[in-house]
Structure 1
């Protein structure tokens, strides 16, 4: 069985024509070979969306939440609506096709397609996950960086596509390079008016006493799939959960903090802007055990 799987969708959206009227919904292809047109707007403009889905023991984590977020991102970009039944089928088929492993991941990509063609491009890629055990156990050093937008950008400037998971990731890669220049591993974005937002590839979760919190809704940040599952786990332990608008100083005063994402899972923040933060190793291990076991 292959270590990398690629499924190319024939008709990613029911609102657009198929690429081949006689072809099946998707076909497997060799991921080492070229398949994308140089005129595809995903390549030339970053005009598209994606999701990354964690897979453990052959089952996807938060699949329906990821599909809902995929559709939401498409709507924000005014892309043809993804046919979620076809995408779900392709995702599950790619997981079955992939060589079994303890942890894997699936990436779904939808682009506007070749300019002027009117048909979107879509594919599903599956592979085994890198080793994130050090980040999960030892934690990560994080710096805060100004995102350049106010915290209410989602309401004031929806055309900036805040909260959509787009292919335009140049900024998210640039901030990680800046973090490395500052001898850190990762970043937490802060709004221009001083509020904690999210990481470039993660949600922020923090604990204050018996309450687990994340920055409030309507901030132009992603609807975190892993954060939602962590809240469900916390509630089974009798912890309170909620959303709160916080400053970096208030985050530093928290009892513990994590960057959480679909593939890396929960990475405790052990240092924020050069200052040490307490790491709750026992609770972090419980979070990651739960996330690794939770599949839908």
Structure 2
């Protein structure tokens, strides 16, 4: 993985002068690239600009910034790039950064952990601040339960989304998504799928669902990297 920071005065990326691994991640967005092709890239751009605006650097997410991001991505191969807003120290300077990452292996199905705790995120409305926490949860799920993903639950036990995925499920011929009042992260891939369902006259509804009900349906967990994956199995951590 290679990381560059954005020099907004000169409109170019530079190698960081210090280890950005020690900086705080305030916002992020990532997408899948295959031979220069990206699904709904403009939606990722809008989502990141909005998140950057929440932390005071939205004005730096310019057309020049995005053009430079695109230039950094090789024209061939599979990639999973990420843009960040980083803070050098609490209350200190904030930087835009770009990470060029090879895409990890992609899968079509996944095994999911049902945790005994509610959503532990500190900033669930914004992608970025809780990435490290969620990766620790997923690592624990892999090592202890051979699971690929962890569901995130509201305090009253409704499923919000996955640690790195948006939730969709089928109730007969109706495609369902979580009640927006639960606060799921606005997912680009789920939005594309829901738009396509409406375009095909497939009914779309929003509901609150608990795990014991969800497991009786066909469930999709979706994101930009893997697209649509169907849940093949569940593990209940509470036993």
For residues 166 and 74 of structure 1, the distance between their equivalents in structure 2, rounded to whole angstroms, comes to 10
Q: Structure 1 residues 26, 167: CA separation in 2 closer, same or farther (over 3 Å shift)?
A: farther
SS in 2 for 1:71: helix
For residues 119 and 32 of structure 2, the distance between their equivalents in structure 1, rounded to whole angstroms, comes to 30
SS in 1 for 2:159: coil
Question: 1:28-77 CA deviation, whole Å, 9 max, x = no partner?
Answer: 65xxxxx2535x6x724x3421111122331332222112221332344x
Counterpart pick for 2:12 among 23, 26, 29: 26
In structure 2, the partner of 1:278 is none
Give the drift of 1:248: 0.9
In structure 2, the partner of 1:217 is 180
> Which runs of no fewer than 5 residues in structure 1 stay unpaired?
12-17, 19-23, 30-34, 154-159, 275-296
SS in 2 for 1:123: strand
Give the drift of 1:267: 1.4
Q: Structure 1 residues 36, 213: CA separation in 2 closer, same or farther (over 3 Å shift)?
A: farther
> Is 2:43 the partner of 1:43?
no
More strand by share: 2
Instruction: Tell me if the contact between 2:178 and 2:206 (Cα under 8 Å) persists in the aligned partners.
Output: yes
Pair member with larger Rg: 1
> Is 2:163 the partner of 1:200?
yes
Aligned length: 234
In structure 1, the partner of 2:225 is 263
In structure 1, the partner of 2:102 is 128
> Which deviates more from structure 2 when the two are superposed, residues 243-252 or residues 67-76?
67-76
Question: 1:216-258 CA deviation, whole Å, 9 max, x = no partner?
Answer: 213232100000111123234331123221111221121x111
For residues 62 and 147 of structure 1, the distance between their equivalents in structure 2, rounded to whole angstroms, comes to 33
TM-score (norm 2): 0.85
SS in 2 for 1:69: helix
In structure 1, the partner of 2:39 is 61
Instruction: Tell me if the contact between 1:7 and 1:26 (Cα under 8 Å) persists in the aligned partners.
Output: no
For residues 148 and 131 of structure 1, the distance between their equivalents in structure 2, rounded to whole angstroms, comes to 29
For residues 59 and 113 of structure 1, the distance between their equivalents in structure 2, rounded to whole angstroms, comes to 33
Instruction: Tell me if the contact between 1:109 and 1:123 (Cα under 8 Å) persists in the aligned partners.
Output: yes
Question: 1:74-114 CA deviation, whole Å, 9 max, x = no partner?
Answer: 344x332242323321222223xx1412x322210111235
Instruction: Tell me if the contact between 1:205 and 1:227 (Cα under 8 Å) persists in the aligned partners.
Output: yes
> Which runs of no fewer than 5 residues in structure 2 stay unpaired?
none
Please list, as runs of the form range in 1=range in 2, the aligned pairs for 1:1-296 lying within 5 A after superposition. 6-11=3-8, 18=9, 24-27=10-13, 29=15, 35=16, 37-38=18-19, 43-44=22-23, 46-76=24-54, 78-81=55-58, 82-95=60-73, 98-101=74-77, 103-113=78-88, 118=93, 120-132=94-106, 135-136=107-108, 139-149=109-119, 160-180=122-142, 181-254=144-217, 256-273=218-235
For residues 174 and 114 of structure 1, the distance between their equivalents in structure 2, rounded to whole angstroms, comes to 23
Instruction: Tell me if the contact between 1:73 and 1:166 (Cα under 8 Å) persists in the aligned partners.
Output: no
